[in-house]
Amino acid sequence: MRQRLQTNWRFLTPEQVSRPHEGADFFISGFPSALAVPEKTAVCGVLLTLETSQIPPPSDATQPVDSRVDYFFDAGPNVFNGEYQNLEIQGMSGSAVGEYRSDLGPGLWTPEQAIHFVGVQAAVRKQRYIRAKSWDTVAALLERVDPQLAQALYPRLA
């Protein structure tokens, strides 16, 4: 099974992970269950990417809120618009939260420099915010199942 996954799937590497940077643009990509289409032998999903921006922790966020592990992103009309205006994205938890940095200065632009993943989507309050957990949280959970991978993440989060 592991070999099959490694052959047919692409996985994030520690080099693709970072903390959020001031002024970056953010996006959340995943497969919301609301867009899933059941077929005879599988459930086919639709990849959805939402462009958003980081916001301060909302006053109505479910407590506890810890700024070291909880990140919040806009989920208002600027994010959910057009055909996705009324979309409920329950079932998208665990999706990657990425950042795109355009402030890298002179030199050759590469996706490896400009795009990093800063967290994992954990909750959404429609028209309010999307909540994500930092890679610190993910690394702490990985300690239990793959300590070597967790240790590879920590330097990226320092």
pTM for this one?
A: 0.83
Per-residue pLDDT of the chain (158 residues; tens, 9 = 90+): 556 656 766 677 788 888 898 888 999 988 888 888 888 988 888 888 889 999 999 999 999 999 889 999 998 888 888 888 787 776 677 888 999 988 777 888 888 888 999 999 998 887 889 999 998 888 888 889 888 888 888 888 88
- Contacts (Cβ under 8 Å, ≥6 apart) of 3: none
Neighbours of 73 (CB within 10 A): 24
User: Do the Cβ atoms of 98 and 27 come closer than 8 Å?
Assistant: yes
Q: For residue 77, say if its preceding peptide bond is cis, omega within 30 degrees of 0.
A: no
Structural domains for the chain: 12-157 (2.40.10.10)
**Whole-angstrom distance between the N-terminal and C-terminal Cα of the chain?**
34
- Contacts (Cβ under 8 Å, ≥6 apart) of 57: 65, 67, 70, 72
